[in-house]
Chains A and B, each alone.
Chain A
């Protein structure tokens, strides 16, 4: 476990909770939009329209809630142990929140990817129900893929970097 400040973790957890509620609201908005759209679509259904709300709900709100819960648990553990800082000088250590939690870039990229995918799903649903197509719709999925891959890559790189530095620190201590 790597951290420098318990308050930072609490702040981080609050941020994740904030994002989770935003995604929850977005998911509900998507569900309501899809429901209303399907009501007036004369029973022409679109898979994309119906299930668009799952994107902000599952990889958005649910994932943020899990991370927020992990952060809160970490803060509690730190409070109990009153542990001192183990690692502070790593490049991937953002805002003192710890490397096992996604940093700011990761979060921005992940959230943006989900937003692009959600809007793409909704727009694809509109096109399906209207009965038309547009080649440019692929831009949404391409942008989402790039952003989500960047988020995952960023997170894994941070994790690998800190693991490496931690092992180096342990070796130095020995």
Chain B
């Protein structure tokens, strides 16, 4: 016994420390700030415009020769006829409309939230694409795309990856649904491409103020988690996706609703959503979190990588091969133009849906026409909730449950 005393003592210590570390990493929660629901809305200008006004302007710009836009204009005209006599100015405190149309929306909704009391409709379409999605050849605008001949691993077939990415297109739009009120217009479309189901929410806002974030249990801390749908329900979210799961990272800026929660820079590039609605990917080593807020950053996420920058795919086929080439559930957010966003969640890890690599996701978002797109926490965390319904197929929890996450991005 004495002969093995050192071995026994050391092994016990090693085991105890490992158990503690595992608990500290995955189980034990540390609350840094309770009631983390504050919003720094001072950064928003008082003059806001209705989402319908924004949409009108954009539709007028793109109307010529575009059948989809013509149809949208007709819809808009009908809408305006319906709205005639009612207040159209969102700043005037108008009562939001309550109307539903389509197959899945019989009757009026009874939401208690102003923003949730808009109109919604659903439809089935095939072979089309929603909104202003552009048709690009996948990878055609890549900075490091299929033209690159370098390989980082012998098991990685770049040509195969490029071919696979090229087959991920926005051609096969399936079921769709929509929501609209005076400040928010959301069109949800489900795509099925290359064996993967992709959920896309096309979001138009009258102000970036409606693009919000929320913490699990309204608490900022480590290992404080809650299901995306639960957080969304607690905040009356119209649309919600999982965020960057800041709780499992020790570094990386956390700026939510205009408030700095973590000012320690991480290694990942940061997605900044500004109060004016613009979106930019920044290097955290060049600027502090407080400087970002001073510059008008409303939300900042530290996950990444950036998928599309300045309208060009910014991930390569062969970079970060271990993570990038794997087909997985993914969550991403992108901006098309002023106050016009897309929330994208791809299903994966199931027999029905394989999932996407980062490059495939970037290629898909590029085809949606985004100027900037950013990858959020994916895998089992990927969840999209639209009008209190989980519309994707989360694979992260035990059984069929969703994985609990630290935070969400939502419209509400």
Does more than half of chain B's interface fall in helix, strand or loop, or is it mixed?
helix
B234 at the A/B interface (Cβ < 8 Å)?
A: no
A115 touches B10 (CB 8 A): yes
Q: Which of B14, B245, B326 contacts A116 (CB 8 A)?
A: B14
A42 at the A/B interface (Cβ < 8 Å)?
A: yes
B14 touches A115 (CB 8 A): yes
Q: List the one stretch of A2-10, A65-73, A132-140 in contact with chain B.
A: A132-140
Shortest C-beta distance, B125 to chain A (Å), equals 32
Q: List the one stretch of A56-64, A78-86, A123-131, A148-156 in contact with chain B.
A: A123-131
The docked-state distance in angstroms from the alpha carbon of A135 to that of B325 is 28
A133 touches B21 (CB 8 A): no
Interface size on B, residues (CB 8 A): 26
Interface range for A: 20 to 34
Q: List the one stretch of B136-144, B205-213, B248-256 in contact with chain A.
A: B248-256
The docked-state distance in angstroms from the alpha carbon of A111 to that of B7 is 9
A43 at the A/B interface (Cβ < 8 Å)?
A: yes
A130 touches B322 (CB 8 A): no
Shortest C-beta distance, B194 to chain A (Å), equals 17
Shortest C-beta distance, A27 to chain B (Å), equals 17
Among residues of A, the one whose C-beta sits closest to the C-beta of B3 is: A104
Having A42-B379, A132-B25, A134-B21, one finds 20 other A-B pairs with CB under 8 Å, namely A42-B326, A43-B322, A43-B327, A43-B328, A44-B323, A44-B326, A111-B7, A112-B6, A112-B10, A115-B10, A119-B18, A130-B248, A131-B245, A131-B248, A131-B379, A133-B248, A133-B250, A134-B24, A134-B25, A139-B21
A108 at the A/B interface (Cβ < 8 Å)?
A: yes
Shortest C-beta distance, A152 to chain B (Å), equals 18
The docked-state distance in angstroms from the alpha carbon of A133 to that of B10 is 25
The docked-state distance in angstroms from the alpha carbon of A45 to that of B349 is 16
A119 neighbours in B (Cβ, 8 Å): 14, 18
The docked-state distance in angstroms from the alpha carbon of A46 to that of B322 is 8
The docked-state distance in angstroms from the alpha carbon of A132 to that of B223 is 11
